[in-house]
Each structure stands twice: as structure tokens, then as C-alpha cells.
Amino acid sequence: MTKKLFTLLMLGLLAGGLSAAQTIPGIDSATTNAVRLFQVPGGGVDNLHFTVWDTIEVPGVGTDTVELRGSYTIRRHEPTTRQWQTAEMDIEMVQMNVAGTSGVLGNVQVSLNGTNVGHVFATETPTSEKDCQVAGSVQIHLQDLGLTVFNKERVPLSHGITHIPPIGQGGSSPEVRIALYDVNHPDGAPVAFLRKVRTQIGGYIH
């Protein structure tokens, strides 16, 4: 389900009487007791399915957007309040492993390069999206090219969310050209570039 479709569906259900205490459409029954619209849970750890679309440029080889599937783990710190409108919280992405195949770049695997930190911000109303921002640092293994690269400049990721964890929702970076360096020559010139990142958060890993 796309973010736009989800938002339209959610607004329609709210107009029809869905309260903030009710559950999210499209989420499996094992998750319904844990995830609620516009409700703020306490701190915790979420192990979730995760899909990423990375646009990677390798000079002399080409540029491609590759779909990567796998999982990630988010640690949520305690929120400042339990009210959706005013609550803020720090988050940490402590694990991510996704993989896929590109017709241009071959097999691609992506993991974190250290813990990625982020923040969930206060919002304008009790029923509006919160902005969740994460500064991404990753290691990308381009197996068929015999190359593993990492970024020094963090990738700015932004997600608009209506529930925590934001299962079924996603986010993206702006259009960027972030330099990627060979792990074997970290002080050398960039050997690749990350052009854009899109994400989609899946359900709990049971």
C-alpha cells in the first residue's frame, strides 16, 4: 500500500468514526494489540521486515535503482510525553540487513555502518503525521563488482508517520549525490555515489 493510499484510507476511516484507539487497516491480527493510530508507546525494540530502494551510481559501470529486502531493528527511547501531538523521542537503528539484485550492478547487500540515530518530532495536531528523521550511515557490498563501499556524509531520511512503529509506511531521502568510498581505501577518491533512498517498513518478525 502506498503512503498516499494509506493516508486517504486512514482519513476516510477517521471521518467514518474510527477513533485513535482503534487499530490500523491492513495490519495482521498478531500486530493489532501493539500498534494504534496516533498513540505513543513507551520505549522498546522493534524487529521489522524492511524494504529499501537504493539508487546507486558506479562510474564506468552504470546507475540503477535496486530493490533490497530484509529486516531491521529499531530501538525506541522513552517519549517525552504520551500525547501524540507533543511527544518526541530519540530512536536508534541498531541493525539492518537487506539484499537484492540489480541488472546493472549485480548482487547488492546493504548493512549499517554503526548505529544510525534519529528523532521523532512533535506535530501540529493530535491527528496529524509526525516527522521521523534518521541520519543514515551504511556499508554497501557490490558482490559482483568485488567492491564494498561506505558513506562519510550521512544520508538524510525522512518519514511521515501516523503510528509507532510505522508499519506499512515509508520514507525517502531527497535527490542526493553522496560519495561512497572503498573500505580498503577509505581516504581515497569516491568510487561510487548514492543518489536516492526510499524505504517501506513491513510487519513484525515473529
CATH code of residue 160: 2.40.160
pTM reported for the whole predicted model:
0.86
* Nearest CA-CA partner of 152 in 104, 205, 188: 188
Instruction: Give just the sign of the alpha carbon dihedral 165, 168, 172, 205.
Output: positive
- Give a yes or no: residue 10 inside a domain: no
Q: What is the total count of domains within the chain?
A: 1
> Over its length of 206 residues, how does the chain's per-residue pLDDT go in tens digits?
444 444 444 444 343 334 455 556 556 555 555 688 999 999 999 999 999 999 999 999 999 999 999 999 999 999 999 999 999 999 999 999 999 999 999 999 999 999 999 999 999 999 999 999 999 999 999 999 999 999 999 999 999 999 999 999 999 999 999 999 999 999 999 999 999 999 999 999 97
- Give a yes or no: residue 137 inside a domain: yes
- What angle is formed at CA 83 by the lines to CA 9 and CA 42, rounded to 5 degrees? 95
- Give a yes or no: residue 19 inside a domain: no
Range of the domain at 151: 39-204
Structural contact between residues 140 and 104, judged by C-beta atoms closer than 8 angstroms: no
* Nearest CA-CA partner of 161 in 123, 197, 198: 123
Torsion angle of the four alpha carbons 38, 42, 47, 50, in this order, in degrees rounded to the nearest 10: 30
| CA–CA dist 48, 96 (Å, integer) | 10
